[in-house]
Chain A
Amino acid sequence: MEKNWDIIIVGGGPAGLAAAIYCGRSLRKTLVLEKQVFGGQIVSADIIENYPGFAEPIVPAELMDQMSKQALRYGVVLENDEVSGVHYENNSWRVDVYNNYFTAKAIIFAAGSTHRFFNVRGEKELLGRGISVCATCDAPFFLNREVAVLGGGDTALAEALHLAKFASVVHVIHRRDQLRAEKILQDRVFKNAKIKLLWDMEVLGFKGDQKLEAIELKNKKTGAVEVMAFAGAFLAIGTVPNTELIKDLVDLDANGYVVTDISLSTQARGLFVAGEVIKGNRRQVSISVGMGVQAALNCEEYLVSLE
């Protein structure tokens, strides 16, 4: 496989693929490296209803498949590999992968984010044994069972609405006394007879032998601790940015997000960022797509300046 590239894009989610389309159309030799599946986390979602340009709901996996094909059409190479290092040496960027490396004149870092966990007892042991991060993947396991969704944002409510098609009761358990999700999702949840809301709850731990049996909760207002039985628990409490690989190259805020501006450039010359690694990103496919485009155009301007 070709070793030297004009641009290497780290991450094949919405930001990375949108950037790839523009890099390809600039006739740059472009490689996209994705450690899991092309399309990113959004492919696990049931539907997207707010991506501009589509009057009807769309299937995220189909949208992302079209983006991949669009990038391939312009000569971009999509490769499944996990990046283990990003360095600048000998006037070029070096990207390490398992048993190999590539070089590039510029990098667009769009590695996205991963699910946030509570880091409480029982969570790690029961992940995949009743604790899940993907309702569309795992809802059928909980047919006519009682499940919990932990979180109060868009993802949590979308997961709850999907689960309500399968489970007997869905409890949305939130640490605050109000939701931050889109109002249209809140309205649907409040109107769904199978969904109940539990406010001001802190998760203390998960219990179960071989599979999840209960969640230990503490009411933040009364201090009362309660163990509630659930067959499934779906975590939707946000994400953490995948910026470990560039933490010594760029400015990160206290939560690990890259601090940048509309240029999407960084202190490291030739290293651009896009998508959910950036501070202030509101986790929407349309925003990540726009950022990918912006990063690609600015990256192209940078490459022209080198010539």
Chain B
Amino acid sequence: MTMAEIVSANDGNFDSFMNSVKTIIVDFWAPTCMPCKLMEPGLEKIAANYPENVKVLKVNVNENPLTSSRFFVRTLPTLLFIKNGLVKTQLIGAVNPGQIEKTLSEVQ
């Protein structure tokens, strides 16, 4: 089995991920957001630990304003949890991998 990695999504290709059978975690970030950078290793672990059930996407809000406004993202870090095309919940602010896994288990 190959290790799943975080995939960069953008305004052009975001819809192609929406109907995935997997739960999608979307990490909205920007280069100036330090808490976003510090959360990245935790998200990488989650992508690697749940390759069958979860896809982790990252969206740079500076380069992809359409996707950010579509989901009313106005603060970073924001994590959206999407399943079957629907936003199930979101986490705002810096969170640890345990909190992400707990939310994931509630969504799945």
Chain A residues proximal to chain B, CB less than 8 Å: 34-39, 43-44, 59-61, 80-82, 98, 127-130, 132-134, 136-141, 210-212, 232
Chain B positions 71-108 with a Cβ under 8 Å from a chain A Cβ: 72-78, 90, 92-99, 102
Pairwise interchain contact B74-A134, C-beta atoms closer than 8 A: no
Pairwise interchain contact B96-A80, C-beta atoms closer than 8 A: yes
Pairwise interchain contact A141-B97, C-beta atoms closer than 8 A: no
Pairwise interchain contact A43-B72, C-beta atoms closer than 8 A: no
Determine the chain B residues whose CB is within 8 A of the CB of A130 once the complex forms. 74
Determine the chain B residues whose CB is within 8 A of the CB of A138 once the complex forms. 74-76
Let me know if B61 is at the binding interface, CB within 8 A: yes
Determine the chain B residues whose CB is within 8 A of the CB of A212 once the complex forms. 74
Let me know if B51 is at the binding interface, CB within 8 A: no
A sample of 13 inter-chain contacts (CB < 8 A) reads A35-B96, A37-B35, A37-B94, A80-B97, A81-B96, A128-B92, A133-B93, A134-B33, A137-B75, A138-B74, A139-B32, A140-B30, A140-B32
A138 to B68, CA, bound (A): 12
Pairwise interchain contact B98-A81, C-beta atoms closer than 8 A: yes
Select one of A59, A80, A129, A232 contacting B98, CB under 8 A.
A80
Let me know if B9 is at the binding interface, CB within 8 A: no
A138 to B32, CA, bound (A): 9
A36 to B36, CA, bound (A): 11
Pairwise interchain contact B32-A37, C-beta atoms closer than 8 A: no
Determine the chain A residues whose CB is within 8 A of the CB of B95 once the complex forms. 36
Determine the chain A residues whose CB is within 8 A of the CB of B34 once the complex forms. 43-44, 59-61, 136-137
Q: Which has the most chain A C-beta neighbours within 10 Å: B38, B42, B74, B78? A: B74
A80 to B36, CA, bound (A): 15
Pairwise interchain contact B35-A43, C-beta atoms closer than 8 A: yes
Minimum distance in angstroms from B41 CB to a CB of chain A: 10
Chain B residues proximal to chain A, CB less than 8 Å: 30, 32-39, 42, 61-62, 68, 72-78, 90, 92-99, 102
Pairwise interchain contact B75-A128, C-beta atoms closer than 8 A: yes
Pairwise interchain contact B61-A36, C-beta atoms closer than 8 A: no
Chain B minimum-CB-distance residue to A231: B74
Pairwise interchain contact B96-A37, C-beta atoms closer than 8 A: yes
Counting residue pairs across A and B whose Cβ atoms lie within 8 Å, the total is 86
Select one of A60, A128, A133, A211 contacting B78, CB under 8 A.
A128
Pairwise interchain contact B33-A137, C-beta atoms closer than 8 A: yes
Pairwise interchain contact A134-B98, C-beta atoms closer than 8 A: no
Minimum distance in angstroms from A62 CB to a CB of chain B: 9
Determine the chain A residues whose CB is within 8 A of the CB of B99 once the complex forms. 82
Chain A minimum-CB-distance residue to B97: A80
Q: A129-B74, A130-B74, A134-B75 are contacts. A44–B35 as well, Cβ < 8 Å?
A: yes
Pairwise interchain contact A98-B102, C-beta atoms closer than 8 A: yes
Q: A128-B74, A134-B76 are contacts. A61–B61 as well, Cβ < 8 Å?
A: no
Pairwise interchain contact A140-B74, C-beta atoms closer than 8 A: no
Chain B minimum-CB-distance residue to A45: B34
Determine the chain A residues whose CB is within 8 A of the CB of B36 once the complex forms. 137
Chain A minimum-CB-distance residue to B99: A82
Select one of A38, A129, A140 contacting B61, CB under 8 A.
A140
Q: Which has the most chain A C-beta neighbours within 10 Å: B78, B92, B94? A: B94
Chain B minimum-CB-distance residue to A138: B75
Minimum distance in angstroms from B1 CB to a CB of chain A: 25
A77 to B20, CA, bound (A): 38
Minimum distance in angstroms from A13 CB to a CB of chain B: 12
A107 to B87, CA, bound (A): 41
Minimum distance in angstroms from B40 CB to a CB of chain A: 10
Q: Which has the most chain A C-beta neighbours within 10 Å: B35, B36, B42? A: B35
Minimum distance in angstroms from B35 CB to a CB of chain A: 6
Minimum distance in angstroms from B102 CB to a CB of chain A: 7
Q: A35-B96, A37-B94, A80-B42 are contacts. A136–B33 as well, Cβ < 8 Å?
A: yes
Determine the chain B residues whose CB is within 8 A of the CB of A39 once the complex forms. 38
Determine the chain B residues whose CB is within 8 A of the CB of A141 once the complex forms. 61, 68, 73-75
